[in-house]
Chain A
Amino acid sequence: MTEHTVQHPDLERPERFTQDSLGWSPWLEPLPKSEFTDRHWEAVVDRARADMPYFALLARDPEILLARTRTDNDIFYNTEGGAPRAERELAATATSRLNGCVFCASVHSRFATQNSDRGEDVQRLLDEGVTATLDPRWDAVVAASVALTETPSGFGTEQIRALREQGLDDVEIADVIAGSAFFNWANRLMLSLGEPQVPKRRSAS
């Protein structure tokens, strides 16, 4: 059997960064549910994810998918101390904005807005890019994420001190580092295995 990519010439693509909900279509065939074994079901954690093309595609290598998901959940959802949820999502959004992942940025900019009630600031980051001025604390989080995301990395004690000056403690700083670092993982999967799409408009109501 010859394996091949799946092209989507007729997709309506987003034109820019947005907080709207987007879809995502894979360029490789997800693992069909009929081929899932216990190993694959364990890896998707939530069985409903077997119907989501991103997770069903990643399920082809179940061990790394499972470890990836558990890493993700602790970095972003463990709220025992550390950075506010909004600032972890801000680090994810800034990283996605710089790398150019419109899909990832759409999801995590929405989360940043939901957790901060600062939708206009989040939108400025999407519209103007990572040099947008938000407020001193958010600017330090964005600048740290940018320095860590660039290659070669410009991240060092200067960024640590800028975060400290804005009142972040050690665990908060580590959360910002992990949030940005993790999106350097997620962006590269989302960008390279498929593409975003504007969902078909639902019938007018």
Chain B
Amino acid sequence: MSDDVIDEVLAILPGDPLDAIRAARPAARENAQRSYEALFEPVDASEASLAERALVAQFVTGVSREPLLTDWYRAAAVDAGAESQAEVVDALVATSATTGPFGAYAEVGLAEESTDGLRLTIDAATRQLLGARLASAIEHAHLLVFRPREASAAALDRLLDAGWSTTGIVTISQLIAFVSFQLRLVIGLGALQADLVESGATAPTGTATPRSDS
């Protein structure tokens, strides 16, 4: 449980320039956190377990090379009792982190822009360590992180075949997509924070004085 994961990993404290900048979009700030809670402290974990959720997030942040959230989600996986699987995910991150976005377009007029790259297929021994559900979710996460334009109905069939329900697929898709957002907020706001520190700023530009009548 955390009041605000993004503030916590970036060490944003009340009164910091970044605190005031984030306060300009209060609903976005609050609901980024509500989104995190909906996915990682869910009211209903029957279609995707807490360990599955944390391990997939560990993979997404790991292959995206965002270290602050990788540590966060790896710790969540360990807390959920999945330490040995977290080690397997570490190894998969190391071998499958590539560059993106790439992939073949389905649109015929964009065929010339199609590009190729590294695709992840988890080997049988590793699949056994993770179980079919988690292995298929991690392969799907690799697809969505690096080549979302290649997503397909066939990719969803592989999740169904591995034991995911339709509702579970919606949850895991939201999770991969949300973490892709969250890690970019951390990267982007972290860069803004670094720039403000380097320039010695004490008060951010563009933040309005709170109105006393609202």
Any A CB within 8 A of the CB of B166: yes
Which of B7-15, B72-80, B201-209 lines the interface with chain A?
B201-209
Q: Is B92 an interface residue (CB 8 A)?
A: no
How distant is the Cα of A173 from the Cα of B185 in the complex, in angstroms?
12
Determine whether the beta carbon of B192 is less than 8 Å from that of A100: no
Which of B99, B105, B151 is in CB contact (< 8 Å) with A150?
Answer: B99
Partner of A174 from B22, B101, B157 at Cβ < 8 Å? B22
- Chain A residues contacting B160 (CB-CB under 8 Å) are 3-5
Minimum Cβ distance to chain A for residue B176 (Å): 6
Query: Quick one: which of B26, B30, B171 contacts A61, CB cutoff 8 A?
Result: B171
Report whether over half of chain A's contact residues are helix, strand or loop; otherwise say mixed.
helix
Tell me if B's interface is mostly helix, strand, loop or mixed: helix
* Contact among B27, B145, B184, B206 for A78, CB-based, below 8 A: B27
A74 to chain B, nearest CB (A): 4
Known interface pairs A70-B31, A177-B185; A80-B208 also in contact (CB < 8 Å): yes
Q: How far is the CA of A177 from the CA of B32 in the complex (A)?
A: 14
User: Given A78-B27, A100-B103, A157-B191, do A188 and B34 touch, yes or no (CB 8 Å)?
Assistant: no
In the bound assembly, the distance between CA atoms of A99 and B151 in angstroms comes to: 11
Is B132 part of the contact surface with A, judged by Cβ < 8 Å?
no
In the complex, how many angstroms separate the beta carbon of B23 from the nearest chain A beta carbon? 10
The smallest C-beta distance from A200 to any residue of chain B, in angstroms, reads 18
A181-B181, A185-B177 given; A67·B31 CB < 8 A:
yes
Q: Is B84 an interface residue (CB 8 A)?
A: no
Tell yes or no: A94 within 8 A of B by CB.
no
A148 touches B206 (CB 8 A): no
* B213 interfacial contact with A, CB 8 Å: no
Give the segment of A112-120, A132-140, A164-172 that binds chain B.
A164-172
- Cβ of B49 under 8 Å from chain A: no
Task: Name the contact of A171 in the complex, choosing from B24, B176, B196 (C-beta under 8 A).
Answer: B24
Residue on A nearest B104 in the bound complex, by CB: A100
**A101, A149, A151 pick with most chain B CB within 10 angstroms:** A151
Give complex CA distance A188, B100 in Å.
13
A-contact 0/1 string along B32-61, CB 8 Å cutoff: 101101110011000000000000000000
A161 at the interface (CB under 8 A from B): yes
B3 at the interface (CB under 8 A from A): no
> Roughly how many angstroms separate A171 CA and B24 CA in the complex, as a whole number?
7
Q: Please, which residues of chain A bring their CB within 8 A of the CB of B123? A: none
- A60 lies within 8 A of B166 (CB): yes
- Contact residue among B30, B155, B167, B175 (Cβ-Cβ distance under 8 Å from A60): B167
Q: Are A82 and B106 in contact (CB under 8 A)?
A: no
- B171–A64 contact, CB under 8 A? yes
Contact A74/B31 with A61-B167, A171-B207, A195-B106 known, Cβ cut-off 8 Å: yes
Q: Cβ of B206: which chain A residues have Cβ within 8 Å of it?
A: 81-82, 169-172
Are A81 and B31 in contact, with the CB atoms below 8 A?
no
Closest Cβ of chain B to A75, distance in Å, is 5
Using Cβ atoms and an 8 Å threshold, which residues of chain A touch B175? 64
Chain A residues with CB below 8 A from B196, complex form: 170
Q: B185 and A181: CB pair below 8 A?
A: yes
Q: Does B187 belong to the interface (CB within 8 Å)?
A: yes
**Residue of B28, B63, B103 contacting most chain A CB atoms (<10 Å):** B28
Query: Does B145 contact A151, Cβ atoms closer than 8 Å?
Result: yes
B200 CB within 8 Å of chain A:
no
B131 CB within 8 Å of chain A = no
Chain A interface residues toward B at CB < 8 A: 3-7, 13-17, 27-29, 57-58, 60-61, 63-68, 70-71, 73-75, 78, 80-82, 98-102, 129, 148-153, 155-157, 159-161, 169-175, 177-178, 180-182, 184-189, 191-193, 195
Instruction: Report, nearest first, the 5 A-B pairs whose CB atoms are least far apart.
Output: A100-B149, A177-B188, A169-B206, A16-B109, A171-B206
